[in-house]
Structure 1
Amino acid sequence: MELTAAEPRRKHLTQLYLDGEPGPKIDTEVFLLSRLKPGDALGEEELRALVEESDARRAREKALYLLEHRSHSKRELTEKVARTAASREAAQAAADRLEELGLLNDRAFAESYARELIQRKRYGLRRVRQELARKGIPRDMAEEVLAPYGEEDSAGENIRLVLSKRYALWREDEKVRRRAVAALQRLGYSYEQVREVMGGLDTE
C-alpha cells in the first residue's frame, strides 16, 4: 500500500492516509522517527509495527504524566492509561516497566494512601480496606499496611475529631446526632465503635 498523505492532528497524533483512504492515527514523534513520507510504500508488517510502537510510546508518556501529578497503584495506572491513551496491552507493559524501574510501587502507594485516608480524611479501617481494594491493592498487603493502626485506638480518636469539627452540637440536637452517626458509619466505623465514643448513644 502507498502512504498518500500524513496530516497532523490534535494530541500529538498524525493521521495516515493509505491508498487515498484514512488509516490509523500514529504518535507524531514515532511517525517522524520512521522517516516515512507521502509516496512511500508501506507493508502490512511495517504498518503493524508502527502502530504498536505508537501505542507503546503513548502508554509510556501517559503513565509518566499521571505519576508526575500523584502516586498511583499499578492497577489504577494501567486502567487510566488504557482508558485514555493506549491499548490494554500497551498500558500493562508500560506499568510493568515503570514498576521494574522503581517508579511504581504498590506497597509505597498503599502506605501513603492509607495514611492520607486515616489521618486526613478520618476514615475508619473498614472503609480504608475497601478503598485499597478498589485501587487494586492485595488483601494481605493491605492488612500489613494497616497493622500499625490499632483498630480501636485510631477509631476512637478519629470519631472524636469528626464529631468536634463537623457535628459540634451532637449532644444538644437529636437531628445532628443522627446525621453524625450516619456520617461516621459511611466513613467506615461500626455502630458499636460510634456508640462507644458517643457515650452509649442510642439512636433507635
Structure 2
Amino acid sequence: MIITDIQPRRRRLSQLYIDGEAAVKVDTETLLKSGLAPGDEIDDEQLHALLQDSAAHRAEEKALYLLEHRAHSKKELEDKITRAEFDREAARRAAEHMEELGLVDDEQYARRLAQELFERRKFGTRRVKQELRQKGIADDLIEAALEEFSTDRDETVETIRAILERKYPAAWEDEKTRRRAVAALQRYGYGFEDIFAALNAEPEE
C-alpha cells in the first residue's frame, strides 16, 4: 500500500489517502512523529500501530482537558473518555497514564469528595458511600474516607435536626410535611432511626 496524499482536517486530524483513496484519519501530531509522508509504503501492521498511537494520544489529550476543569477518579475519567467516542482500551491507558503522572489519585479524590458531601451537602453515610461507589472508588478507599469524615450518632441526629429546621420547619406539626421530610432525608442517606430521633426532639426556639 502506498500513501498517495495527506490532507489536514479539523480537530488536528489528518486524512490519509492510500492507493488513491481516502483511508483513515489520524492525529496530526502522531502522524508527524511517525515520519510518514506521501509516497511511503505502509503495510497493515504499520497502519494498525499508527491508528493505536493516534487513539492513545488523542485520549490522553482528552484526559488532560477534563482534568483541567476538575479532579476525577480514575474510573470516572476512563468512562468520560470512552463516552467521547474513544475505545475503552485507549481510555483505560490514558487514565492509567494520568495516574502514573500523579494527576489522578483516587485516595485523595475520595477524601475530598467525602468531606464535601458530609460537610457541605450534609449527606448521610449511606448516600456518601453510594456517591463514591458511582465514581468507581475502591471499597477500601471508601471505608477509609467514611471513617475519617463520618460523624457519630449524636452529631448525625443534630445535622438532621438542622436540615429539618431549615427546610421542613412544619414537620413537627404537620403530618404531610413530616412524610415529605422523611422521604427527603432518606434520599440524603440517613436511616429511619436517626431521622425519627431528630423528629422526636423538640425544635429550637
RMSD value, Cα: 2.1
Instruction: After superposition, give the CA deviation of every residue in 1:65-84 in whole Å (9 maximum; x if it has no partner).
Output: 11111111111111111221
Match of residue 158 from structure 2: 157
| Matching residue's letter, 2:41 | A
Match of residue 14 from structure 1: 14
Mapped partners of 1:166, 1:25: distance in 2: 55
Equivalent pair of 1:62/1:85 in contact (CA under 8 Å): no
Match of residue 131 from structure 1: 131
Mapped partners of 2:2, 2:152: distance in 1: 67
**TM-score with structure 2 length normalisation?**
0.87
Mapped partners of 1:111, 1:47: distance in 2: 44
How many correspondences in the alignment?
201
Amino-acid identity (%): 50
Instruction: After superposition, give the CA deviation of every residue in 1:158-197 in whole Å (9 maximum; x if it has no partner).
Output: 3123223322332333222211110000111111111110
Q: Which runs of 5+ in 1 are unaligned?
A: none
Aligned-pair distance for 1:114?
A: 0.7
Q: Which runs of 5+ in 2 are unaligned?
A: none
Instruction: After superposition, give the CA deviation of every residue in 1:39-74 in whole Å (9 maximum; x if it has no partner).
Output: 432222221221111111111111111111111111
Q: Could you say what secondary structure the match of 1:131 adopts?
A: helix
Mapped partners of 1:179, 1:115: distance in 2: 26
- Specify whether residues 12 and 151 from structure 1 end up closer, same or farther in structure 2 by C-alpha distance, changes over 3 A only: farther
Match of residue 187 from structure 1: 188
- Specify whether residues 191 and 13 from structure 1 end up closer, same or farther in structure 2 by C-alpha distance, changes over 3 A only: same
Please identify, of 109-118 and 9-18, the stretch whose mean Cα deviation from structure 2 is larger: 9-18
| Matching residue's letter, 1:118 | F
Mapped partners of 1:123, 1:151: distance in 2: 14
- Specify whether residues 183 and 45 from structure 1 end up closer, same or farther in structure 2 by C-alpha distance, changes over 3 A only: same
| Matching residue's letter, 2:127 | R
Match of residue 106 from structure 1: 106
Q: Could you say what secondary structure the match of 2:170 adopts?
A: coil
Match of residue 179 from structure 2: 178
Aligned-pair distance for 1:9?
A: 3.1
Aligned-pair distance for 1:104?
A: 1.0
Please identify, of 58-67 and 19-28, the stretch whose mean Cα deviation from structure 2 is larger: 19-28
- Specify whether residues 100 and 72 from structure 1 end up closer, same or farther in structure 2 by C-alpha distance, changes over 3 A only: same
| Matching residue's letter, 2:199 | M
Please identify, of 56-65 and 15-24, the stretch whose mean Cα deviation from structure 2 is larger: 15-24
Match of residue 169 from structure 1: 170
Mapped partners of 2:194, 2:147: distance in 1: 18
- Specify whether residues 164 and 23 from structure 1 end up closer, same or farther in structure 2 by C-alpha distance, changes over 3 A only: farther
Aligned-pair distance for 1:93?
A: 1.7
Mapped partners of 2:182, 2:168: distance in 1: 10
> Which residues in structure 2 correspond to 1:28-107 (within 5 Å)?
28-107=28-107
Mapped partners of 1:143, 1:180: distance in 2: 28
- Specify whether residues 154 and 4 from structure 1 end up closer, same or farther in structure 2 by C-alpha distance, changes over 3 A only: farther
Aligned-pair distance for 1:153?
A: 4.0
Mapped partners of 2:181, 2:34: distance in 1: 62
| Matching residue's letter, 2:17 | Y
Q: Could you say what secondary structure the match of 2:169 adopts?
A: coil
Please identify, of 88-97 and 190-199, the stretch whose mean Cα deviation from structure 2 is larger: 88-97
Mapped partners of 1:5, 1:167: distance in 2: 69
